[in-house]
A and B are shown apart, each in its own frame.
Chain A
Amino acid sequence: MKRFKGFVIKEFYHIFRDYRTMVILFGMPLVQILIFGFAISTEINNAGIAILDNSKDAVTQKITNKLLSSGYFKLEANLSDYKEIEPMFRKGNIKEVIIFENNFAKKLETEKKANIQIIADASDPNTASLITSYTSNIINNYQLEMMKNQQLPMQINPEVKMLYNEELKSVFMFVPGTITVLLMLISAMMTSISITREKELGTMEILLASPLKPIQIIVGKVVPYVFISFMIAVIILILGFTVFGMPVQGSLFLLMSECLLFILMALSLGILISTVTQTQQTAMMISMFALMLPTILLSGFIFPIENMPLPLQVFSNVIPPKWFIIIIKNIMLKGVGLGYIWKETLILLGMTLFFIVLSVKKFKIRLS
């Protein structure tokens, strides 16, 4: 036991004396949370638009003002000819062109009908469908305001309630997502690299020849990373709560235990990776390539899993972060207890055991 303690202390020294890595390990959650919170957003604002006003009368002016004062749009150019649209789009500064037809106000007066054409740059289909629907909503609202005195017949009015997240804040996405991605990558990557490092530098032989049992070597390697990963989870939760008001509706103890379980899962995955690789480069590329993008894309962090094609939905079941994101979202936002998430917890537990058993089987105490 004393030997083991000494080994763990040695590992701590190893990790903490490398200040560059430390700065990045603890700087990463900080920077990511700040970027997600302040810099990027999925909402539309200040989308560049161009207006081709063939009529230039009081009504088109009013509609234009209405659109520009909404905050969604920013006027990039006033066009005077249809031919200018294509080059404008190609330059990439505008997302939408709004075209008022000739004699707009006059037609509205005499024929009670006038047309606005909206052309959107749908190379980004998501933004295109959102901004066009905003545009037509603003135009419709303008009309409703204009004809307040006359009530249209038979109007169905949908009343919307956004449950769990009334203001559609993206913080509810990115705090759970960032925790998941960082815990997954740091735990798996750090462990796999630190073990293969000993192999690559040849110091693994020294460790294996020491009276420490292989299991003690592995556990000793892992302990510091459990500590670091757990600290990172705490940092993200505190930042999320203090800066962005991300609540923890459910039990904090349950949340932290689930984090610990997930960390253990990622660490055992890291050990497994290290048993099948010989160089740090390979270990890193596996934990980086095979884990990073799937963790971001197949876990439901950014893109909802239900929208994916069926084979991918099935495949996403073997991605551990998927289950963890469900668990922490449920605890943090819906405030549910273990009763609601025991299934996901069991799955994570099963994966952890699977990785541990597999790496014990693959672990070689002899050098080839």
Chain B
Amino acid sequence: MRTILFILQKEFTQIFRNKSMLPIMFVMPIVQLLVLSFAATFEMKNIKMHIVDLDKTPQSRAMISKFKGSKFYTIVNYSDAYKIAENDLKTNKADIILQIPQYFERNLSKEDKASVQLTINAINGSAAGLINAYTFSIIKDFNSNILMDTYGQKLEMPVQTNTSFWYNPQLDYKTYMVPGILVLLVTIIGLFLSAMNVVREKEIGTIEQINVTPIHKYQFITGKLLPFWIIAMFELAFGLLIAKIIFSLPVLGNVGVVFTVASIYILAILGLGLFISTITNTQQQAMFIAWFFMVIFILMSGLFTPIDSMPDWAQKLNIINPIAYFIKVMRMVLLKGASFKDVLNQIIALSIYAIVALTLAVRMYKKKI
């Protein structure tokens, strides 16, 4: 036990005397959490619209003012030719062109049918889909307004749908992203610090000095892991606090559940990092291998895209993705108030992960050169 304490002391001294690493470990994650959570949003606040009104009637103007009145749209330009408008789309001055054709008003009242043309810059497919949905709903609104004005009563479909959004009625995207980004930051810290740690001693040659001491394998590994475990847990706690204060992240579930799962998750990540560290010879190799797996894990984890939309085989691959488990747990517990029982499967999976990774790491670490 005393041996472990001494190794711990050595590791902590080494961590805290490296003055250039301290801000990276403690300040950078928090800054990133603050900045990036605002960046990661799909909310369309400022759709730039170019209007080509070829009708110029009260009805067409009424429709335009409907868009003007919406806080989601900014009318950037008006013109009388589609060609000019398309150029705006090409130069990114506009996201969408609304073209109201000639005889729009006449067709609407005489033939009960009129069309408008929407042209959307669709390079970003998901943004285009959302712009499309917003625009449709505004036109639909406008449509039922004029029906109301003309017929004096609501004419609507017999089957009515009403929608309610649970857990996040304001559809605030930040509360969804913040737990995910927090997981990411803790993972980067844990995985990279542990992956580069032992291999650094190898590269510089100091591992031999440790190998000739009577320190046991398990003592050495514990001494290497515990400092990073403490740091990662601390950062998670600090990050959650900041998320709660700045982003008013709802914490519906029990924070104890989050920390229980986190303690296992971080063990799994550190085990993985240590395993990488033992099978590589240089820090560069260790870093690239850690980076490779992390990028894949992040992309597949459902952080940015819904897991449900992935094909079956890809969802099955996520069985070996620790980040996916933890992001899911964080979101379920924090945003939906899931209980210990609801996340039991994830806890079991992460525990197996941690045990396997740590066993492999201890096995692979040999006390010789």
Contacts and interface: CB of A to CB of B under 8 A. Distances in A.
Contacts of B43: 125, 307
A318 interface: no
A170 to B, nearest CB: 5
Contact of B150 (A42, A125, A154, A289): A154
A117 B309 contact: no
Contacts of A32: 295-296, 299
A152 B150 CA distance: 13
Interface residues of A, number: 116
B46 A119 contact: no
B289 A24 contact: yes
Contacts of B116: 156-159
Contacts of B13: none
Contact of A279 (B18, B41, B299): B18
A292 to B, nearest CB: 8
Interface stretch (B3-11, B207-215, B337-345, B349-357): B337-345
Contact of A126 (B109, B173, B299): B173
A116 B171 contact: no
B255 to A, nearest CB: 16
Interface centre among B44, B48, B124, B291 (most CB of A within 10 A): B124
A113 B124 CA distance: 39
A154 B292 contact: no
Interface in B110-136: 112-130, 132-133, 135-136
A114 B299 CA distance: 43
Given A45-B309, A114-B160, A312-B38, A173 B124 contact: yes
B200 A288 contact: no
Given A38-B314, A90-B332, A117-B164, A303 B28 contact: no
Contacts of A89: 166-167, 336
Contact of A39 (B36, B136, B196, B310): B310
A18 B113 contact: no
B299 A303 contact: no
B50 to A, nearest CB: 12
Given A130-B129, A280-B283, A312-B35, A90 B342 contact: yes
B1 interface: no
A164 B122 contact: yes
B125 A42 contact: yes
Interface string B69-111: 0000000000000000010011110010000000000001100
B171 A128 contact: yes
A114 B24 contact: no
A333 B156 CA distance: 42
Interface in A135-191: 135-136, 139-140, 142-143, 151-166, 168-170, 172-173, 185, 189
Contact of B119 (A153, A161, A286): A161
B222 interface: no
Contacts, number: 359
Interface in B306-322: 306, 308-311, 314, 317
B309 A44 contact: yes
B256 interface: no
B192 A159 contact: no
A153 B146 CA distance: 10
Interface stretch (B137-145, B228-236, B358-366): B137-145
20 contacts: A20-B289, A21-B284, A31-B292, A32-B295, A46-B309, A92-B336, A119-B163, A121-B166, A139-B159, A162-B122, A165-B122, A172-B123, A197-B282, A279-B18, A280-B200, A280-B287, A281-B200, A284-B283, A309-B38, A315-B35
Nearest to A108: B158
Chain B contact patch, size range: 35 or more
Interface string A77-97: 000000000000111100100
B39 A303 contact: yes
Interface of A: 18, 20-21, 24-25, 27-28, 31-32, 35-36, 38-48, 63, 89-92, 95, 108, 112-130, 132-133, 135-136, 139-140, 142-143, 151-166, 168-170, 172-173, 185, 189, 193-194, 197, 200-201, 277-282, 284-286, 288-290, 293-294, 297-298, 302-304, 306-309, 312, 315-316, 326, 329, 333-334, 336, 340
A155 B143 contact: yes
Contacts of B123: 164-165, 172-173, 329, 333
Contacts of A121: 166-167, 336
A284 B304 CA distance: 24
B142 to A, nearest CB: 7
Contacts of B188: 288-289
A142 B161 CA distance: 13
B309 A285 contact: no
What 9 A-B pairs come out closest when comparing CB atoms?
A122-B165, A168-B125, A162-B122, A39-B314, A125-B171, A123-B335, A165-B122, A122-B168, A42-B126
Interface string B149-162: 01100010111111
A297 B40 contact: yes
Interface in B270-315: 280, 282-285, 287-289, 291-292, 295-296, 299-300, 304-306, 308-311, 314
B328 interface: yes
A156 B308 contact: no
Nearest to A185: B291
B21 interface: yes
A42 B338 contact: no
Contacts of B151: 153
B112 A284 contact: no
Contacts of B166: 89, 119-122
A199 to B, nearest CB: 12
Given A129-B133, A161-B120, A288 B291 contact: yes
A159 B118 contact: yes
B128 A162 contact: yes
B24 A92 contact: no
A28 B299 CA distance: 13
